[in-house]
Structure 1
């Protein structure tokens, strides 16, 4: 019996050592696995954030281009409207000048008729 106790203690210590080593290795694997998963998740989050950031920049660029195009279009419309108004104003001015010429010619014709009438009255 005396021989059996030391062998039993030796086997118990060896089993305990094996179990303790396996437990520690398992804990290390879980920690590294957790860190790797954490890094992968962090990496995925960073990738998503980067993609969202790039998408936001593209969206802003497109909006800026659309705003610039709208501003250009508005400026062109204003210039065109200004040109149309200027042309209308010029044509109105031309019409006014034509109207004045016709009025002047009409008045001159009336003056000539009045002069002829006066001359005829004096002659008779």
Structure 2
């Protein structure tokens, strides 16, 4: 019986050592697998983030182009409107000039008629 106890203890220790080693290897594999999966997921997340970032940049670029086109259209409209306002002002100035010239001409014609009448009266007397 004395010989059986040490053999039993040796086998128990060997079994415990084997179980402990298998458990540690299993834990390492899980960690490695978890890291690989984590890296793969991280890689996928980075790809997705990069795609979203590029899409956002493209969206902003399109928005900027639309804004620039709207600004150009507004500027053209303002230029056309300013041109129309200037043309209207020029026309109104021209109308005022024409009215002024008509008044001067009428005034001169009236003066000429008076002068003619005065001359005719002077000749008659």
Gap runs ≥5 in structure 1:
none
Q: CA deviation digits over 1:64-95, x for unaligned, max 9?
A: 12330232133112232223322331342244
Runs of 4+ in 1 over 6 A off after TM superposition: none
Report the number of matched residues. Answer: 124
Q: CA deviation digits over 1:22-78, x for unaligned, max 9?
A: 212222222123303421442243134214412431342133123302321331122
For normalisation by structure 1, the TM-score amounts to 0.73
Aligned CA RMSD, in angstroms, stands at 2.8
Gap runs ≥5 in structure 2:
none
For normalisation by structure 2, the TM-score amounts to 0.72
